[in-house]
Structure 1
């Protein structure tokens, strides 16, 4: 868990990353998309990590901000070179993409509830109970799981975590599904009054524990190995954790 002391210590680290102007020719600049907005601290973290990583490989880096579904489409067509983070099994959904073997981080998909006693145990129990479930748009893994396991009438979508939390609080949905890390960040960065209002929400179960990886268009397949080796080295050096702390601290400071 990231502590306040760690955030403060990192606050003077790297400036907030944005579109990176690369000195290399366009063919030597890797263009990446991600399923979260540009100003999200986890996006900023991966931008920092992959800017360093591509630079050490003699390449430039550029981040392109588009909606999550558009992001995947752009990687598939080669309009951009890769996606900064998707789960290990994402390749099963899009087999033409090339997974960088070294993971960015651990990822858990979780269910959240405000109703006392409600838990995610089995899909069968959710079906039988007519439980109304919701997930955030752009999380393709959740979309496939929920629509595969539940009738369409029991599944809805929202655009932001804030909307998902609000609908739970209002009783308009029973379970909200998202990435545990994203929900934890959202709650951590809330103001005291907002955090108190959201205190009734609790984790009601974990659907899947996996790892997050960068993915490349097949035209860049040869880079997967060198990127994995470089990413593992950045982890050992402590750079990946340093970039995470700096990104979280910068976001906290902006709030």
Structure 2
């Protein structure tokens, strides 16, 4: 009995002493199926390195400030071109994605930002990769960001804006989950850019970027990556 108590005590003290890595993310991203998958994926990966992952939800501006100050140890997901002197990118992406346009008119096809000239455009606030694209649109008639993606999409349906510009997997999920509001009312009308999404680690954990990258490659190669993805999708339904 004493041996069992000692063993349980050792297990408890080991778990409680486990170092924590805190990664920030915005609420809409974490609540998406992709966000839930990333939480499962990196919880397992960091556990292999003896670390406990804690995912912290923050609004976009506060998220950036806390990562810069070191209060957070990095960001769960950013796009490939994101650059900050205090962050190091994990080179192996967790997934690839595209930035697409959405309109009530299926024939309003877009292939580049030039096709959005003189258009009225809405997008979700805090999506820097989207904002960077919108910034190079020649002479847009009107551009506005919204905290709520559904609000931005609904204004396109109401013809107050011509296009919504957003990350495809994220926007498609919102449309699927709000069929009554958007089904057969708004459509993907083109891809403006293809990119990849990565984890970014701060100074205290930048030494792990290569290890995390290698682990991701290994999991993709042996099929465990897709197994976790299917499992997380099942539990998020």
Short-chain TM bin: 0.7 to 0.9
For 1:142, what is the secondary structure of its paired residue? helix
Q: Is the 8 A contact 1:24 1:60 kept in 2?
A: no
1:32 equivalent in alignment to 2:17: no
Shift of 1:151: 5.0
1:99 equivalent in alignment to 2:89: yes
Pick which of 97-106 and 227-236 moved more.
Answer: 227-236
Residues 206-221 of structure 1 correspond to what in structure 2 (within 5 A)?
206-221=191-206
Which whole-Å CA distance do the structure 1 matches of 2:25 and 2:138 have between them? Answer: 27
4+ runs deviating over 4 angstroms: 150-153
User: RMSD value over aligned CA atoms?
Assistant: 2.2
1:134 equivalent in alignment to 2:122: yes
CA deviations on 1:142-165 (whole Å, 9 max, x unpaired) are 112212435576210112221122
Q: Go from structure 1 to structure 2 and tell me whether the alpha carbon gap of 1:187 and 1:70 turns closer, same or farther (over 3 Å shift).
A: same
Which whole-Å CA distance do the structure 1 matches of 2:36 and 2:226 have between them? Answer: 13
CA deviations on 1:98-135 (whole Å, 9 max, x unpaired) are 000111001111111113532323434433xx201111
- Structure ID, larger Rg: 2
Which whole-Å CA distance do the structure 2 matches of 1:224 and 1:45 have between them? Answer: 19
Residues 185-204 of structure 1 correspond to what in structure 2 (within 5 A)?
185-191=173-179, 193-194=180-181, 197-204=182-189
Q: Is the 8 A contact 1:68 1:138 kept in 2?
A: yes
1:57 equivalent in alignment to 2:49: yes
Residues 87-166 of structure 1 correspond to what in structure 2 (within 5 A)?
87-91=79-83, 94-127=84-117, 130-150=118-138, 154-166=142-154
For 1:233, what is the secondary structure of its paired residue? helix
CA deviations on 1:191-210 (whole Å, 9 max, x unpaired) are 5x44xx43131112111111
> What TM-score, normalized to structure 2?
0.85
Q: Is the 8 A contact 1:84 1:214 kept in 2?
A: yes
Question: Larger strand proportion, structure 1 or 2?
Answer: 2
> What TM-score, normalized to structure 1?
0.79
2:7 corresponds in structure 1 to: none
Q: Is the 8 A contact 2:111 2:190 kept in 1?
A: yes
Q: How many correspondences in the alignment?
A: 223
Q: Is the 8 A contact 1:87 1:107 kept in 2?
A: no
For 1:241, what is the secondary structure of its paired residue? helix
